[in-house]
Chain A
Amino acid sequence: MLEVTKLACSRGDHRLFSGLSFRLEPGQILQVDGANGSGKTSLLRALCGFLMPDEGEISWGGISTAKMEEEFYAKILYLGHLNAIKDDLNALENLRIAAGISGCLLDEQQAVSALQRMGLRGRERLPTKVLSQGQRRRVALARLLVNQAKLWILDEPLTALDVGAVHLIETLLMEHLARQGMVIFTTHQPLQVPGLRTLSLS
């Protein structure tokens, strides 16, 4: 489904990786591994089309993602280092707006139940600026529950999360894979998901 061939990316003058090829099929999960500065984030950003690779090709179902543009964006969900939530809005508003931008309009009930599943019961209507780092990350991760995207691209999804939340994420990933979804992610914490492959950027 997702196919990367001979990809090369650089940051400024520094070549991060080159000749990188891999495939991801429905129901598969791939962890991108490597030391700090090895280009994990750049790889994920290149997949999203933020970063133009120096060489190589990224294609989805045989079509170059650069040509698909919006059509491809409908297939992916990207969660970066930044939570993409607004301090001035409450968790509920944040989630509904984020979902709206990514193309699915939520009613209040759907949003509330997603937040509750993320362990934010009773905090749905608090401005996010009073939430802790972990809770804010949970608000961002609630997008996983309300999205139709086939491919999840997650950059360090576990930062600031406690053990309970990590287990929850594992469950969510397994559910997504069972739906024939795909996941590509980076992490520095171990994540227990059956069928996990790793891709090493050295």
Chain B
Amino acid sequence: MAINWFKYAAPTNFYGLAGKLIPWFAGFSLVLFAAGMYIGFFVAPADAQQGEFYRIIFIHVPTSILSMVLYMVMAGYAALGLIFNTRLSAMMASAIAPTGALFAFISLWTGALWGKPMWGAWWVWDARLTSELILLFLYLGFISLHASIDDPRRADRASALLAIVGSVNVPIIYFSVKWWNTLHQGSTIKFSGTSMHVAMQQAMFTMLAALWLYALAVVLARVRSIILERERHTHWAQEVAA
């Protein structure tokens, strides 16, 4: 089956496709979320050292991973938009940012909740936690730059450039923070034992898939509203809205 991908690079065509995909992503996300929660709370055993507290990693780890992946995806779309001047890519980038920031925030929050019983402190200057905080700053910078430019074209292009600069900087930041951390002999999170229980892994991956699908559904929904807003003067958008 040959699919004409370029057809969907036009925002108006993509609008319909996204509309069809969203319920599927959202539905599967919900099912997997429920399954992940069930495995996480009832099937996975308590950890030998961390007791029940560790269960927060079923949220913490997937959100951390996704917040980083989403930043790279966002930068990728931004680069596509800048190089090929495709409007949809820029819209995707700006639709991803809020979800990425939300995941970074949840990851920090759950990290703090986990830290309190484990280390007796809400916040530890752990390398990963610190990098996550900086990642949140980068997201917020992207969102505020986009929001403070009125002209949509300039907003797209300026924030795209910022996202690319940020993504080049992310490895340097991560490395420097890690290095800074070892210099200060901070505590790093280590799991007891070398292998995780199978059920723990299952719960983690199920949650990862659930949140991934959630991100897809939300980003597509956001892109749809961005498309409508940008095209509001066209005949097409007025028909869709009516």
A and B touch in the complex (CB under 8 A): yes
A contacts, CB < 8 Å to B = 12-13, 52
A69 to chain B, nearest CB (A): 16
B contacts, CB < 8 Å to A = 150-151, 153, 232-233
Residue of A with least CB distance to B157: A52
Q: For A52, what are the chain B residues with a Cβ–Cβ distance below 8 Å? A: 153
Q: For B232, what are the chain A residues with a Cβ–Cβ distance below 8 Å? A: 13
- Please, how many angstroms separate the alpha-carbon atoms of A52 and B156 in the complex? 14
Q: For A13, what are the chain B residues with a Cβ–Cβ distance below 8 Å? A: 232-233
Q: For A12, what are the chain B residues with a Cβ–Cβ distance below 8 Å? A: 150-151
- Please, how many angstroms separate the alpha-carbon atoms of A12 and B150 in the complex? 9
Q: For B151, what are the chain A residues with a Cβ–Cβ distance below 8 Å? A: 12
- Please, how many angstroms separate the alpha-carbon atoms of A13 and B153 in the complex? 11
- Please, how many angstroms separate the alpha-carbon atoms of A194 and B233 in the complex? 44
Residue of A with least CB distance to B233: A13
A184 to chain B, nearest CB (A): 25
A61 to chain B, nearest CB (A): 25
Interface residues of A, dominant DSSP = loop
- Please, how many angstroms separate the alpha-carbon atoms of A52 and B233 in the complex? 20
B29 to chain A, nearest CB (A): 35
A110 to chain B, nearest CB (A): 39
- Please, how many angstroms separate the alpha-carbon atoms of A2 and B141 in the complex? 42
- Please, how many angstroms separate the alpha-carbon atoms of A152 and B89 in the complex? 37
Q: For B153, what are the chain A residues with a Cβ–Cβ distance below 8 Å? A: 52
A88 to chain B, nearest CB (A): 29
- Please, how many angstroms separate the alpha-carbon atoms of A199 and B37 in the complex? 69
Residue of A with least CB distance to B231: A13
- Please, how many angstroms separate the alpha-carbon atoms of A12 and B151 in the complex? 6
- Please, how many angstroms separate the alpha-carbon atoms of A52 and B232 in the complex? 21
The 5 A-B pairs at the shortest CB distance, nearest first, are namely: A13-B233, A12-B151, A52-B153, A13-B232, A12-B150
A185 to chain B, nearest CB (A): 26
A54 to chain B, nearest CB (A): 10
A158 to chain B, nearest CB (A): 30
- Please, how many angstroms separate the alpha-carbon atoms of A13 and B151 in the complex? 9
5 A-B contact pairs sorted by A residue (CB < 8 Å): A12-B150, A12-B151, A13-B232, A13-B233, A52-B153
- Please, how many angstroms separate the alpha-carbon atoms of A13 and B233 in the complex? 8
B57 to chain A, nearest CB (A): 47
Q: For B150, what are the chain A residues with a Cβ–Cβ distance below 8 Å? A: 12
- Please, how many angstroms separate the alpha-carbon atoms of A98 and B153 in the complex? 30
- Please, how many angstroms separate the alpha-carbon atoms of A13 and B237 in the complex? 14
B151 to chain A, nearest CB (A): 6
Residue of B with least CB distance to A11: B151
Residue of B with least CB distance to A10: B153
- Please, how many angstroms separate the alpha-carbon atoms of A52 and B151 in the complex? 13
- Please, how many angstroms separate the alpha-carbon atoms of A199 and B121 in the complex? 72
Residue of B with least CB distance to A15: B233
A42 to chain B, nearest CB (A): 13
- Please, how many angstroms separate the alpha-carbon atoms of A119 and B150 in the complex? 42
Residue of B with least CB distance to A12: B151
- Please, how many angstroms separate the alpha-carbon atoms of A48 and B90 in the complex? 25
Residue of A with least CB distance to B234: A13
B100 to chain A, nearest CB (A): 28
Residue of B with least CB distance to A13: B233
A56 to chain B, nearest CB (A): 15
- Please, how many angstroms separate the alpha-carbon atoms of A156 and B150 in the complex? 27
Residue of B with least CB distance to A54: B153
Residue of A with least CB distance to B153: A52
- Please, how many angstroms separate the alpha-carbon atoms of A12 and B233 in the complex? 11
- Please, how many angstroms separate the alpha-carbon atoms of A49 and B113 in the complex? 53
- Please, how many angstroms separate the alpha-carbon atoms of A65 and B118 in the complex? 63
A77 to chain B, nearest CB (A): 26
- Please, how many angstroms separate the alpha-carbon atoms of A28 and B232 in the complex? 42
Residue of A with least CB distance to B85: A52
Residue of A with least CB distance to B230: A13
B17 to chain A, nearest CB (A): 25
